[in-house]
Structure 1
Amino acid sequence: MSDPAKPSRKRALSRSAARLAAVQALYQMDATRIGLDEVIAEFGKYRFGLRDGLGDRAEGEVPAEPDEAFFADLLRGVVRQQDEVDGLISGHLPEGWRLSRLDSTLLAILRAGTYELIARRDVPFKVVINEYVDITHAFFAGEEPGLVNGILDRLAHELGRAHGK
């Protein structure tokens, strides 16, 4: 019998796909200045259903559709709390670094992960960190995954998430 408190594999893959899409949408918003509602509508109409979920799948397993509500929550939350999110990220960058120094994709990853740590207490902090480190690996081969891991881990501790709070 499965544990009802544990999310199903399909739900986990659906949320992974939503996180990746959210990072892409945040990047697109930054690069093109497209609005929040417009990017949510665009992803829903043109991109969802055409992409694979992030993560390992068993052979023959159907790719998960992104969880559109989770995707929209991530985007709306980052935009709504961007000053707080950016302040938290800035406070954990290596000495002498500024947000403006970060690659736009890396900044989108950190913003989504930070928002999720702040607001999505229903998601274990280790899941949040692992998911965004995996996304970072999809875009970068250098030191960036370690940077994301370090910043999100320190934020989880600062926010009391690492102690189950």
Structure 2
Amino acid sequence: MTTEKTANQRGAARLAAVQALYQMDLAGTALADVLAEYEVYRLGKEIDGDVYLKADPAWFRAIVSGVVKEQKSLDPKISDAISEGWTLSRLDSTLRAILRAGVFEIVKKPDVPTAVIVTEYVEIATAFFEGDEGKLVNAVLDRIARRERAEKKA
């Protein structure tokens, strides 16, 4: 498998993870149910004429499970990094899912370059939103990465 192929499958896994986290947030779907649904019926499958990209199922599972497991430690990091006057609960559910997934990778996947994580999640944000949400994702993830990854190097 080529590196490009792996990267594309990780990108697709990130997008699917954001969608799954959004679904869990809105519908209250249980972790095991959402993982099974995506892995069996969505990743790389066609649904109602839409073809889901082939995604790295292990990466997808790691992000979704990791965000659920680490949410209590991720959310304060995000809250500290967003603009004053804003709270995490005020953000759109999709934006929260994007930020949680991105911060999870920054904190728990030190082998993945920060630029890759930030770029991928900014692209996801701009796919879902037409406003400044991509800039917000970029700023928040960059701020958290500087803090988190600088601490680990020190």
1:32 equivalent to 2:21? Answer no
The runs of 5 or more residues in structure 2 that have no matched partner are: 46-50
1:56 corresponds to: none
Contact 2:107–2:149 under 8 Å retained in 1: no
| TM-score normalised by the chain length of structure 1 | 0.85
| Alignment: residue pair count | 148
Pair 1:141 & 2:130 matched: yes
For residues 15-94 of structure 1, what are the structure 2 equivalents within 5 Å?
Answer: 15-50=10-45, 51-53=51-53, 65-94=54-83
Give, in whole Å, the separation in 1 of the partners of 2:109 and 2:94. Answer: 21
User: Where do 5+ consecutive residues of structure 1 fail to align?
Assistant: 1-6, 54-64
State the partner residue of 1:59. Answer: none
Q: 1:115 aligns with which of 67, 84, 104?
A: 104
Q: Partner of 2:144 in structure 1? A: 155
User: Where does residue 12 of structure 1 map in the other structure?
Assistant: 7
Distance (Å, rounded) in 1 between the aligned partners of 2:15 and 2:153:
25
Cα drift, residue 141 of structure 1: 0.9
Cα offset, 1:160, TM superposition: 2.2
Equivalent residues of 1:125, 1:161 under 8 A apart: no
Per-residue deviation, residues 56-79 of structure 1 (Å, max 9, x unmatched): xxxxxxxxx100000000011101
Given residue 38 of structure 1, which amino acid in structure 2 is its aligned partner? D
Q: Quote the Cα distance in structure 1 between the aligned partners of 2:35 and 2:112.
A: 22
Structure in which a larger fraction of residues adopt helix: 2
Residue of structure 1 aligned with 2:86, choices 85, 93, 97: 97
Q: What do residues 65-96 of structure 1 show as CA deviations (whole Å, max 9, x unaligned)?
A: 10000000001110111011101000011111
Partner secondary structure for residue 81 of structure 1:
helix
Tell me if structure 2 keeps the 8 A contact 1:117–1:161: no
Q: Is the 8 A contact 2:18 2:97 kept in 1?
A: yes
TM-score by length of 2: 0.91
Cα separation, 2, equivalents of 1:24 and 1:32: 12
The 3-state SS of whatever aligns with 1:11 is: helix
